[in-house]
Chains A and B, each alone.
Chain A
Amino acid sequence: MADGPVDLVAARGRVGGNRALLEELAGIFAAEAPARLAELRAAVAARDPRVIERLAHTLKGSAGIVGALEVQRLGLALEELARGRRLESADATLARLESELDRVVAFFTDGAWAAPPDGAGG
Protein backbone atom coordinates (compact mmCIF):
# COMPACT_ATOMS: atom_id res chain seq x y z
CA MET A 1 0.00 0.00 0.00
CA ALA A 2 2.98 2.27 0.63
CA ASP A 3 3.69 2.39 -3.12
CA GLY A 4 0.14 3.40 -4.00
CA PRO A 5 -1.05 6.97 -4.48
CA VAL A 6 -2.87 6.95 -1.14
CA ASP A 7 -1.50 6.46 2.35
CA LEU A 8 -4.43 4.63 3.91
CA VAL A 9 -2.86 4.49 7.33
CA ALA A 10 -2.66 8.29 7.38
CA ALA A 11 -6.19 8.57 5.99
CA ARG A 12 -7.66 6.16 8.56
CA GLY A 13 -5.90 8.14 11.26
CA ARG A 14 -7.56 11.34 10.05
CA VAL A 15 -11.04 9.86 10.35
CA GLY A 16 -10.39 8.16 13.68
CA GLY A 17 -10.73 4.72 12.09
CA ASN A 18 -14.26 5.41 10.84
CA ARG A 19 -14.23 3.31 7.66
CA ALA A 20 -17.64 4.42 6.39
CA LEU A 21 -16.63 8.05 6.78
CA LEU A 22 -13.37 7.52 4.91
CA GLU A 23 -15.26 5.85 2.05
CA GLU A 24 -17.65 8.80 1.94
CA LEU A 25 -14.82 11.36 1.96
CA ALA A 26 -12.89 9.44 -0.72
CA GLY A 27 -16.05 9.37 -2.83
CA ILE A 28 -16.51 13.13 -2.49
CA PHE A 29 -12.82 13.75 -3.25
CA ALA A 30 -12.87 11.57 -6.38
CA ALA A 31 -16.15 13.05 -7.59
CA GLU A 32 -14.98 16.63 -7.20
CA ALA A 33 -11.46 16.11 -8.55
CA PRO A 34 -12.22 16.71 -12.27
CA ALA A 35 -13.95 20.04 -11.56
CA ARG A 36 -11.13 21.06 -9.22
CA LEU A 37 -8.57 20.25 -11.84
CA ALA A 38 -10.47 22.12 -14.54
CA GLU A 39 -10.60 25.26 -12.36
CA LEU A 40 -6.92 24.95 -11.56
CA ARG A 41 -6.03 24.42 -15.20
CA ALA A 42 -7.99 27.52 -16.19
CA ALA A 43 -6.32 29.60 -13.47
CA VAL A 44 -2.84 28.45 -14.51
CA ALA A 45 -3.66 29.18 -18.17
CA ALA A 46 -4.87 32.65 -17.13
CA ARG A 47 -1.74 33.14 -14.99
CA ASP A 48 -3.90 34.27 -12.08
CA PRO A 49 -1.74 33.74 -8.98
CA ARG A 50 -4.46 34.58 -6.45
CA VAL A 51 -6.90 32.01 -7.79
CA ILE A 52 -4.15 29.42 -8.29
CA GLU A 53 -3.04 29.94 -4.70
CA ARG A 54 -6.56 29.51 -3.33
CA LEU A 55 -7.45 26.47 -5.45
CA ALA A 56 -4.13 24.72 -4.81
CA HIS A 57 -4.43 25.49 -1.11
CA THR A 58 -7.93 23.99 -0.94
CA LEU A 59 -6.97 20.89 -2.90
CA LYS A 60 -3.98 20.42 -0.62
CA GLY A 61 -6.26 20.45 2.43
CA SER A 62 -8.65 17.74 1.32
CA ALA A 63 -5.89 15.63 -0.29
CA GLY A 64 -4.21 15.53 3.13
CA ILE A 65 -7.40 14.27 4.74
CA VAL A 66 -7.92 11.36 2.35
CA GLY A 67 -4.25 10.35 2.47
CA ALA A 68 -3.32 11.53 -1.05
CA LEU A 69 -0.02 12.78 0.26
CA GLU A 70 1.69 13.33 -3.10
CA VAL A 71 -1.27 15.42 -4.31
CA GLN A 72 -1.03 17.30 -1.04
CA ARG A 73 2.69 17.93 -1.63
CA LEU A 74 2.16 19.06 -5.24
CA GLY A 75 -0.72 21.27 -4.16
CA LEU A 76 1.54 22.94 -1.64
CA ALA A 77 4.24 23.38 -4.29
CA LEU A 78 1.77 25.04 -6.67
CA GLU A 79 0.41 27.22 -3.88
CA GLU A 80 3.91 28.41 -3.05
CA LEU A 81 4.75 29.10 -6.68
CA ALA A 82 1.62 31.23 -6.94
CA ARG A 83 2.30 33.05 -3.69
CA GLY A 84 5.85 33.81 -4.79
CA ARG A 85 4.55 34.87 -8.23
CA ARG A 86 6.89 32.32 -9.81
CA LEU A 87 4.48 30.92 -12.35
CA GLU A 88 7.03 29.93 -15.00
CA SER A 89 7.18 26.36 -13.61
CA ALA A 90 3.47 26.22 -12.73
CA ASP A 91 2.59 24.27 -15.89
CA ALA A 92 5.06 21.51 -15.09
CA THR A 93 3.85 21.24 -11.49
CA LEU A 94 0.24 21.24 -12.65
CA ALA A 95 1.02 18.42 -15.11
CA ARG A 96 2.48 16.31 -12.30
CA LEU A 97 -0.48 17.15 -10.09
CA GLU A 98 -2.88 16.08 -12.84
CA SER A 99 -1.31 12.68 -13.32
CA GLU A 100 -1.04 12.11 -9.58
CA LEU A 101 -4.66 13.12 -9.07
CA ASP A 102 -5.66 10.68 -11.83
CA ARG A 103 -3.94 7.87 -9.92
CA VAL A 104 -5.71 8.84 -6.70
CA VAL A 105 -9.11 9.00 -8.38
CA ALA A 106 -8.50 5.62 -10.03
CA PHE A 107 -7.47 4.17 -6.69
CA PHE A 108 -10.59 5.41 -4.91
CA THR A 109 -12.92 4.57 -7.78
CA ASP A 110 -11.66 1.00 -7.86
CA GLY A 111 -13.24 0.29 -4.48
CA ALA A 112 -10.89 -2.59 -3.62
CA TRP A 113 -9.03 -0.32 -1.23
CA ALA A 114 -11.99 -0.12 1.10
CA ALA A 115 -11.93 -3.86 1.88
CA PRO A 116 -9.91 -4.11 5.08
CA PRO A 117 -7.20 -6.73 5.39
CA ASP A 118 -8.11 -9.58 7.72
CA GLY A 119 -7.94 -8.57 11.34
CA ALA A 120 -7.47 -4.91 10.61
CA GLY A 121 -9.59 -2.76 12.87
CA GLY A 122 -11.98 -0.36 11.14
Chain B
Amino acid sequence: MKRIHLKQKCQISLAAMSFACALACVKQVPSQQLVNARAYFEQAQRAPATQYALDSLYEAKRSLDEAEEAHEEDPNSYRELSLAYVAERKAQLAMARGGLAYAIDVKRNSERALVDRQQALLEMTRKDAAAVSNQLNIQAVQLQQTQTALEQERAAREVETSAQAVWASLGDIARVRSDISSTTITLDGAVMFPAGRATLLPAANDTLNRVARSIADIAPGATLKVVGHTDNQGNAANNQKLSLARAQRVADYLVQQGLDPSRIEALGVGEQFAATTNDTPEGRANNRRVELVVQQAVPSGLGSPGTVCADGKAAVPKALPPSPPVGDTNPIPIATETTPENTVVAPSRGSVH
Protein backbone atom coordinates (compact mmCIF):
# COMPACT_ATOMS: atom_id res chain seq x y z
CA MET B 1 0.00 0.00 0.00
CA LYS B 2 2.80 2.26 0.89
CA ARG B 3 4.45 1.34 -2.40
CA ILE B 4 1.40 2.14 -4.38
CA HIS B 5 1.10 5.42 -2.63
CA LEU B 6 4.68 6.29 -3.50
CA LYS B 7 4.11 5.23 -7.07
CA GLN B 8 1.05 7.42 -7.33
CA LYS B 9 2.98 10.31 -5.92
CA CYS B 10 5.67 9.81 -8.54
CA GLN B 11 3.10 9.68 -11.32
CA ILE B 12 1.41 12.78 -10.11
CA SER B 13 4.70 14.57 -9.86
CA LEU B 14 5.67 13.45 -13.32
CA ALA B 15 2.36 14.59 -14.72
CA ALA B 16 2.70 17.94 -13.01
CA MET B 17 6.20 18.39 -14.34
CA SER B 18 5.04 17.47 -17.84
CA PHE B 19 2.17 19.97 -17.61
CA ALA B 20 4.55 22.61 -16.37
CA CYS B 21 6.91 21.89 -19.24
CA ALA B 22 4.01 22.02 -21.70
CA LEU B 23 2.85 25.31 -20.27
CA ALA B 24 6.35 26.65 -20.55
CA CYS B 25 6.63 25.52 -24.14
CA VAL B 26 3.33 27.11 -25.27
CA LYS B 27 3.94 30.66 -26.42
CA GLN B 28 1.80 33.29 -24.77
CA VAL B 29 -0.78 35.00 -26.98
CA PRO B 30 0.18 38.68 -27.37
CA SER B 31 -2.10 41.39 -26.04
CA GLN B 32 -4.36 43.38 -28.35
CA GLN B 33 -2.26 46.45 -27.60
CA LEU B 34 0.85 44.71 -28.86
CA VAL B 35 -0.98 43.47 -31.94
CA ASN B 36 -2.07 47.04 -32.64
CA ALA B 37 1.48 48.29 -32.15
CA ARG B 38 2.80 45.74 -34.64
CA ALA B 39 0.11 46.72 -37.17
CA TYR B 40 0.81 50.44 -36.82
CA PHE B 41 4.51 49.84 -37.20
CA GLU B 42 4.00 47.86 -40.39
CA GLN B 43 1.68 50.59 -41.66
CA ALA B 44 4.32 53.20 -40.84
CA GLN B 45 6.94 51.18 -42.67
CA ARG B 46 4.77 51.05 -45.80
CA ALA B 47 3.72 54.71 -45.72
CA PRO B 48 5.71 56.69 -48.33
CA ALA B 49 5.70 59.83 -46.20
CA THR B 50 7.54 57.98 -43.41
CA GLN B 51 10.63 58.14 -45.60
CA TYR B 52 10.76 61.77 -44.51
CA ALA B 53 11.04 60.69 -40.82
CA LEU B 54 13.27 57.63 -40.71
CA ASP B 55 14.63 58.51 -37.26
CA SER B 56 11.13 58.47 -35.83
CA LEU B 57 10.50 55.11 -37.49
CA TYR B 58 13.67 53.76 -35.93
CA GLU B 59 12.52 55.05 -32.54
CA ALA B 60 9.18 53.30 -33.01
CA LYS B 61 11.00 50.07 -33.84
CA ARG B 62 12.97 50.30 -30.61
CA SER B 63 9.81 50.85 -28.60
CA LEU B 64 8.16 47.90 -30.32
CA ASP B 65 11.17 45.75 -29.50
CA GLU B 66 10.91 46.79 -25.84
CA ALA B 67 7.25 45.88 -25.85
CA GLU B 68 8.05 42.51 -27.42
CA GLU B 69 10.69 41.89 -24.72
CA ALA B 70 8.18 42.83 -22.04
CA HIS B 71 5.75 40.41 -23.59
CA GLU B 72 8.37 37.67 -23.52
CA GLU B 73 9.27 38.41 -19.93
CA ASP B 74 5.85 39.01 -18.49
CA PRO B 75 2.99 38.49 -20.94
CA ASN B 76 -0.07 40.73 -20.67
CA SER B 77 1.51 42.70 -17.87
CA TYR B 78 0.91 46.38 -17.33
CA ARG B 79 4.44 47.01 -18.55
CA GLU B 80 3.81 45.14 -21.78
CA LEU B 81 0.56 47.00 -22.35
CA SER B 82 2.14 50.34 -21.64
CA LEU B 83 5.19 49.75 -23.81
CA ALA B 84 2.99 48.45 -26.62
CA TYR B 85 0.85 51.56 -26.22
CA VAL B 86 3.97 53.74 -26.47
CA ALA B 87 5.20 51.75 -29.50
CA GLU B 88 1.85 52.21 -31.22
CA ARG B 89 1.93 55.97 -30.58
CA LYS B 90 5.51 56.21 -31.80
CA ALA B 91 4.56 54.45 -35.02
CA GLN B 92 1.77 57.00 -35.39
CA LEU B 93 4.26 59.75 -34.58
CA ALA B 94 6.58 58.49 -37.32
CA MET B 95 3.74 58.67 -39.84
CA ALA B 96 2.61 62.08 -38.63
CA ARG B 97 6.15 63.48 -38.70
CA GLY B 98 6.62 62.06 -42.20
CA GLY B 99 3.36 63.68 -43.28
CA LEU B 100 4.44 66.94 -41.68
CA ALA B 101 7.82 66.88 -43.42
CA TYR B 102 6.16 65.97 -46.71
CA ALA B 103 3.65 68.81 -46.38
CA ILE B 104 6.42 71.27 -45.56
CA ASP B 105 8.37 70.01 -48.56
CA VAL B 106 5.33 70.40 -50.84
CA LYS B 107 4.69 73.86 -49.48
CA ARG B 108 8.31 74.92 -49.98
CA ASN B 109 8.40 73.56 -53.53
CA SER B 110 5.06 75.19 -54.35
CA GLU B 111 6.24 78.52 -53.04
CA ARG B 112 9.44 78.21 -55.04
CA ALA B 113 7.45 77.29 -58.15
CA LEU B 114 5.11 80.19 -57.45
CA VAL B 115 7.99 82.62 -57.20
CA ASP B 116 9.51 81.21 -60.38
CA ARG B 117 6.23 81.50 -62.26
CA GLN B 118 5.59 84.98 -60.97
CA GLN B 119 9.07 86.02 -62.00
CA ALA B 120 8.50 84.48 -65.43
CA LEU B 121 5.17 86.29 -65.71
CA LEU B 122 6.79 89.50 -64.58
CA GLU B 123 9.49 89.08 -67.17
CA MET B 124 6.92 88.39 -69.88
CA THR B 125 4.92 91.40 -68.77
CA ARG B 126 8.04 93.52 -68.89
CA LYS B 127 8.77 92.30 -72.40
CA ASP B 128 5.18 92.95 -73.45
CA ALA B 129 5.32 96.41 -71.94
CA ALA B 130 8.58 97.12 -73.73
CA ALA B 131 7.10 95.89 -76.99
CA VAL B 132 3.98 97.99 -76.50
CA SER B 133 6.10 100.99 -75.57
CA ASN B 134 8.22 100.47 -78.66
CA GLN B 135 5.11 100.15 -80.78
CA LEU B 136 3.72 103.32 -79.24
CA ASN B 137 6.95 105.13 -79.98
CA ILE B 138 6.85 103.96 -83.58
CA GLN B 139 3.24 105.04 -83.87
CA ALA B 140 4.07 108.40 -82.31
CA VAL B 141 6.85 108.91 -84.84
CA GLN B 142 4.55 107.85 -87.66
CA LEU B 143 1.87 110.18 -86.34
CA GLN B 144 4.37 113.01 -86.19
CA GLN B 145 5.48 112.26 -89.74
CA THR B 146 1.88 112.14 -90.89
CA GLN B 147 1.12 115.42 -89.17
CA THR B 148 4.19 117.01 -90.72
CA ALA B 149 3.25 115.69 -94.14
CA LEU B 150 -0.30 116.92 -93.70
CA GLU B 151 0.93 120.34 -92.66
CA GLN B 152 3.28 120.46 -95.63
CA GLU B 153 0.48 119.34 -97.91
CA ARG B 154 -1.86 121.90 -96.42
CA ALA B 155 0.75 124.62 -96.84
CA ALA B 156 1.45 123.48 -100.38
CA ARG B 157 -2.23 123.44 -101.17
CA GLU B 158 -2.57 126.91 -99.76
CA VAL B 159 0.31 128.03 -101.95
CA GLU B 160 -1.24 126.23 -104.87
CA THR B 161 -4.61 127.73 -104.17
CA SER B 162 -3.19 131.21 -103.97
CA ALA B 163 -1.16 130.52 -107.11
CA GLN B 164 -4.27 129.33 -108.88
CA ALA B 165 -6.00 132.49 -107.80
CA VAL B 166 -3.17 134.62 -109.12
CA TRP B 167 -3.03 132.70 -112.37
CA ALA B 168 -6.77 132.99 -112.66
CA SER B 169 -6.48 136.75 -112.25
CA LEU B 170 -4.50 136.76 -115.45
CA GLY B 171 -7.39 135.20 -117.30
CA ASP B 172 -8.41 138.49 -118.93
CA ILE B 173 -5.04 138.95 -120.63
CA ALA B 174 -3.75 135.42 -121.14
CA ARG B 175 -4.60 131.77 -121.14
CA VAL B 176 -3.09 129.97 -118.15
CA ARG B 177 -2.67 126.21 -117.97
CA SER B 178 -1.14 124.41 -114.95
CA ASP B 179 0.03 120.88 -114.45
CA ILE B 180 2.06 119.16 -111.78
CA SER B 181 5.36 120.90 -112.33
CA SER B 182 4.72 123.81 -114.59
CA THR B 183 2.37 126.60 -115.49
CA THR B 184 2.06 127.82 -119.03
CA ILE B 185 0.91 131.38 -119.67
CA THR B 186 -0.06 131.92 -123.28
CA LEU B 187 -0.04 135.50 -124.52
CA ASP B 188 -1.80 136.46 -127.75
CA GLY B 189 0.82 137.47 -130.30
CA ALA B 190 -1.49 140.00 -131.98
CA VAL B 191 -1.89 141.89 -128.72
CA MET B 192 1.83 141.79 -127.92
CA PHE B 193 3.51 142.59 -131.24
CA PRO B 194 2.73 144.41 -134.45
CA ALA B 195 2.50 142.20 -137.50
CA GLY B 196 5.83 140.81 -138.61
CA ARG B 197 7.82 142.67 -136.01
CA ALA B 198 9.39 141.89 -132.66
CA THR B 199 8.79 145.13 -130.86
CA LEU B 200 6.32 145.24 -128.04
CA LEU B 201 3.11 147.16 -128.46
CA PRO B 202 2.33 149.71 -125.71
CA ALA B 203 -0.56 147.57 -124.55
CA ALA B 204 1.84 144.67 -124.05
CA ASN B 205 3.73 146.51 -121.33
CA ASP B 206 0.81 146.41 -118.96
CA THR B 207 0.23 142.74 -119.70
CA LEU B 208 3.86 141.82 -119.12
CA ASN B 209 3.99 143.94 -115.97
CA ARG B 210 1.16 141.94 -114.47
CA VAL B 211 2.70 138.68 -115.58
CA ALA B 212 6.07 139.66 -114.08
CA ARG B 213 4.46 140.60 -110.78
CA SER B 214 2.55 137.34 -110.64
CA ILE B 215 5.63 135.27 -111.35
CA ALA B 216 7.66 137.18 -108.76
CA ASP B 217 4.90 136.70 -106.18
CA ILE B 218 4.11 133.06 -106.76
CA ALA B 219 7.27 131.47 -108.07
CA PRO B 220 10.23 133.69 -107.37
CA GLY B 221 12.68 130.79 -107.63
CA ALA B 222 11.15 129.14 -110.66
CA THR B 223 12.77 128.87 -114.05
CA LEU B 224 10.99 130.56 -116.90
CA LYS B 225 11.02 129.58 -120.53
CA VAL B 226 9.73 132.15 -122.97
CA VAL B 227 8.69 130.32 -126.15
CA GLY B 228 7.73 132.21 -129.28
CA HIS B 229 5.29 130.66 -131.80
CA THR B 230 4.09 131.80 -135.24
CA ASP B 231 1.52 130.57 -137.71
CA ASN B 232 2.53 128.87 -140.91
CA GLN B 233 2.24 131.86 -143.13
CA GLY B 234 5.42 132.94 -144.92
CA ASN B 235 8.89 131.52 -144.77
CA ALA B 236 9.49 129.00 -142.05
CA ALA B 237 13.03 130.12 -141.36
CA ASN B 238 11.92 133.68 -141.01
CA ASN B 239 9.10 132.55 -138.75
CA GLN B 240 11.64 130.79 -136.66
CA LYS B 241 13.74 133.92 -136.33
CA LEU B 242 10.69 136.05 -135.66
CA SER B 243 9.48 133.77 -132.92
CA LEU B 244 12.86 133.78 -131.28
CA ALA B 245 13.13 137.54 -131.49
CA ARG B 246 9.73 138.01 -129.93
CA ALA B 247 10.55 135.54 -127.15
CA GLN B 248 13.80 137.29 -126.49
CA ARG B 249 12.05 140.64 -126.40
CA VAL B 250 9.58 139.42 -123.85
CA ALA B 251 12.38 137.87 -121.78
CA ASP B 252 14.30 141.12 -121.81
CA TYR B 253 11.26 143.01 -120.67
CA LEU B 254 10.66 140.59 -117.82
CA VAL B 255 14.29 140.99 -116.74
CA GLN B 256 13.74 144.72 -116.76
CA GLN B 257 10.81 144.13 -114.43
CA GLY B 258 13.09 142.44 -111.88
CA LEU B 259 13.05 138.77 -112.72
CA ASP B 260 16.31 136.86 -112.40
CA PRO B 261 17.92 136.69 -115.87
CA SER B 262 19.74 133.46 -114.99
CA ARG B 263 16.38 131.74 -114.65
CA ILE B 264 14.94 132.96 -117.91
CA GLU B 265 15.45 131.26 -121.24
CA ALA B 266 14.09 132.46 -124.58
CA LEU B 267 13.16 129.96 -127.28
CA GLY B 268 11.77 130.41 -130.77
CA VAL B 269 9.98 127.49 -132.32
CA GLY B 270 8.38 129.23 -135.25
CA GLU B 271 5.45 127.41 -136.71
CA GLN B 272 6.44 123.95 -135.51
CA PHE B 273 4.05 123.64 -132.60
CA ALA B 274 0.74 124.97 -133.71
CA ALA B 275 -1.86 125.13 -131.01
CA THR B 276 -4.67 124.72 -133.46
CA THR B 277 -5.28 124.67 -137.18
CA ASN B 278 -3.68 127.21 -139.47
CA ASP B 279 -6.44 126.81 -142.04
CA THR B 280 -8.65 129.50 -140.59
CA PRO B 281 -7.92 133.06 -139.61
CA GLU B 282 -8.99 132.32 -136.04
CA GLY B 283 -6.73 129.30 -135.88
CA ARG B 284 -3.74 131.18 -137.19
CA ALA B 285 -4.42 133.96 -134.73
CA ASN B 286 -4.34 131.44 -131.91
CA ASN B 287 -1.10 129.98 -133.18
CA ARG B 288 0.64 133.35 -133.14
CA ARG B 289 1.51 133.48 -129.50
CA VAL B 290 4.16 133.70 -126.82
CA GLU B 291 4.15 131.06 -124.10
CA LEU B 292 5.74 131.60 -120.70
CA VAL B 293 6.45 128.20 -119.11
CA VAL B 294 7.00 128.59 -115.36
CA GLN B 295 8.70 125.48 -113.97
CA GLN B 296 9.21 124.92 -110.29
CA ALA B 297 10.05 121.94 -108.14
CA VAL B 298 7.05 120.04 -106.88
CA PRO B 299 6.91 120.14 -103.03
CA SER B 300 7.09 116.72 -101.40
CA GLY B 301 3.71 115.36 -100.43
CA LEU B 302 1.98 117.58 -102.91
CA GLY B 303 0.10 115.64 -105.47
CA SER B 304 -1.73 117.31 -108.26
CA PRO B 305 -4.37 115.13 -109.77
CA GLY B 306 -4.04 116.58 -113.20
CA THR B 307 -3.68 119.61 -115.35
CA VAL B 308 -6.05 122.44 -114.65
CA CYS B 309 -6.52 125.55 -116.64
CA ALA B 310 -6.78 128.91 -115.02
CA ASP B 311 -10.37 129.09 -116.06
CA GLY B 312 -11.07 125.81 -114.26
CA LYS B 313 -11.28 123.64 -117.35
CA ALA B 314 -9.19 120.55 -117.74
CA ALA B 315 -6.35 121.02 -120.13
CA VAL B 316 -4.68 118.53 -122.39
CA PRO B 317 -1.06 118.26 -121.34
CA LYS B 318 1.33 118.94 -124.15
CA ALA B 319 4.92 117.98 -124.40
CA LEU B 320 7.28 120.82 -124.02
CA PRO B 321 8.79 121.63 -127.39
CA PRO B 322 12.40 120.72 -127.78
CA SER B 323 14.79 123.57 -127.35
CA PRO B 324 16.00 124.69 -130.75
CA PRO B 325 19.44 126.14 -131.10
CA VAL B 326 19.33 129.66 -129.88
CA GLY B 327 20.53 132.03 -132.51
CA ASP B 328 20.80 135.75 -132.54
CA THR B 329 18.61 137.10 -129.81
CA ASN B 330 18.49 140.64 -131.08
CA PRO B 331 15.00 141.85 -131.83
CA ILE B 332 14.95 142.25 -135.55
CA PRO B 333 11.94 143.16 -137.59
CA ILE B 334 11.02 140.46 -139.98
CA ALA B 335 8.08 141.09 -142.23
CA THR B 336 7.22 137.57 -143.19
CA GLU B 337 4.43 136.69 -140.78
CA THR B 338 0.93 137.39 -141.79
CA THR B 339 -1.07 139.69 -139.69
CA PRO B 340 -4.49 138.67 -138.46
CA GLU B 341 -5.91 140.97 -141.06
CA ASN B 342 -3.84 139.29 -143.72
CA THR B 343 -6.23 136.71 -144.99
CA VAL B 344 -4.17 135.49 -147.84
CA VAL B 345 -4.66 131.78 -147.96
CA ALA B 346 -1.42 129.95 -147.94
CA PRO B 347 -1.02 126.27 -148.60
CA SER B 348 -1.37 124.38 -145.38
CA ARG B 349 1.61 122.46 -144.09
CA GLY B 350 -0.56 120.29 -141.99
CA SER B 351 -1.13 120.50 -138.37
CA VAL B 352 1.73 120.01 -136.06
CA HIS B 353 1.35 118.80 -132.54
Task: Check if A and B associate.
Answer: no
User: B residues near A, CB below 8 A?
Assistant: none
User: A residues near B, CB below 8 A?
Assistant: none
